[in-house]
Amino acid sequence: MQPFVRHLSILALALVLVRCGGGGGGAGTPGTQPGAPGTPQMAQTAFTIVVPRASGTASVHPSVIPSDTQSISIVITAINGSAPPSGVQTTFNATLTTSNPNCAQGTSGLACTIAITSPTGNVTYTVSLFSTTNETGSPVAQGTTTATITVGTNNVVNLTLALVGGALALALQNPTPQSGSSTTIGVTLSELDGGGTPITGTYPNPIVLTDSDTSGATSLAVNGKAGTTVTTSADVVTLAYTGLAIAPVTIGASTTGLASASATLTPGIAAVVLAPTSLSFQGTASLGGVGASTVTATQAGWTGSFGHTIAVTNGSPSCNLGNASTQIVSLPSTNGTSFAITPQNAGSCSLLFSGGAGASSSLPISVTTTKVIIQSHGSPR
């Protein structure tokens, strides 16, 4: 899964660095001596983060701090472009729950302050958020930034986060409607964070929907208007289906930085209905006087108000429609809904009546002939 990058300045996850004293080594920096050669000057600093309140099971966007966040890891990866010297603590972990005395529940969510000791200079920080309480498993959000930290100043650094392992989710509320009647189908669409929790709010990049149908039998709408662009989790997406008999249709969803999602509409296809379901002709050797029989062919979602016709071809065994000298039956048109079928030569065969979405029905046909022998007897004397 590609990372779900959020190119935003996240004020909710701000790095607030405050010097608390004369720049000496603070807690968590064993062996550090102020002014020692190669040892950076240190300052007591603090990270502040607000984990938003969950709305049901949803994260709040655009804070890009998933509401299922339960712990944080802050790692100093470089100082002035070089690896931190030995003796400088580089990893700071904290639980982001009410069990942490440095966290307090507020109107916007759980506000936590994580105190660390940070070097001065150009410091690179990597911050990872986890849905577990002990920084285990894969992070649900992550960001890296380099900040210039100076003493005697409140240093505030805005950090850009990326949802890690996020995904799009797409589903049709009725993926198998029956052809022959129109319906409107709800489309469930959401963005998920790395822990599988839906993100709510305005999306930084729009979600673009696609429809593989080229027949015009389906159409997408967003908030009641024809469209294929979704910009917030509150947008309502629907799929209109006319009832036309069509092959399965793929509805897709894509956005920047996420693997695409898709769902399949597979209409239930009605059968081609024939009346009668078989034909039997019988006549003299020349079939003189044997008239045509009419066969009607219909299919819900294809003929009638849908305006399509049924196509007739040779079945198996073949009626030899294309060969005038050997054809068993003939018909004036091979497309329509009513067919006049006339016997031509003795034999057994079938015709195949094909409608929409591959539906077809076979019509068995039998043509037999009878020889009539007239005998003349002389009159008795």
Could you tell me the domains of the chain? 4-163 (no CATH), 167-265 (2.60.40.10), 273-370 (2.60.40)
| Residue 58: predicted pLDDT | 43
> Strand order of the sheet with strand 91-95?
4-5, 162-163, 141-149, 121-130, 71-79, 91-95
Q: How far apart (Å, rounded) are the C-alpha atoms in residues 9 and 17?
A: 17
| Residue 266: predicted pLDDT | 98
- Chunked in runs of 10, what are the mean pLDDT values of the chain (381 residues)? 34 40 33 51 78 54 67 93 91 93 87 85 91 86 84 71 81 98 97 76 87 97 98 96 98 87 97 98 80 96 97 97 93 97 95 98 94 58 53
Extract the tokens encoding 301: 């979602």
Question: To the nearest 5 percent, what fractions of the chain are helix, strand and coil?
Answer: 0, 50, 50
| Residue 211: predicted pLDDT | 98
| Residue 38: predicted pLDDT | 61
CA-wise closest residue to 96 among 141, 133, 42: 133
CA-wise closest residue to 353 among 279, 287, 248: 279
| Residue 377: predicted pLDDT | 58
CA-wise closest residue to 148 among 160, 140, 156: 156
Helix (H) and strand (E) counts for the chain? 0, 31
Q: How far apart (Å, rounded) are the C-alpha atoms in residues 95 and 70?
A: 6
| Residue 272: predicted pLDDT | 98
Extract the tokens encoding 204: 């930084």
Q: What is the three-state SS of 296-351?
A: EEECCCCCHHHCCCEEEEECCCCCCCCCCCCCCEECCCCEECEEEEEECCCEEEEE
Q: Say how many C-beta atoms besides its own lie within 10 A of residue 142's C-beta.
A: 19
| Residue 42: predicted pLDDT | 83
- The residue to which tokens 């797409």 are assigned: 170
Q: Say how many C-beta atoms besides its own lie within 10 A of residue 36's C-beta.
A: 12
Q: How far apart (Å, rounded) are the C-alpha atoms in residues 197 and 166?
A: 9
pTM greater than the 0.75 cutoff: no
DSSP annotation of 225 reads E
Extract the tokens encoding 302: 């294809």
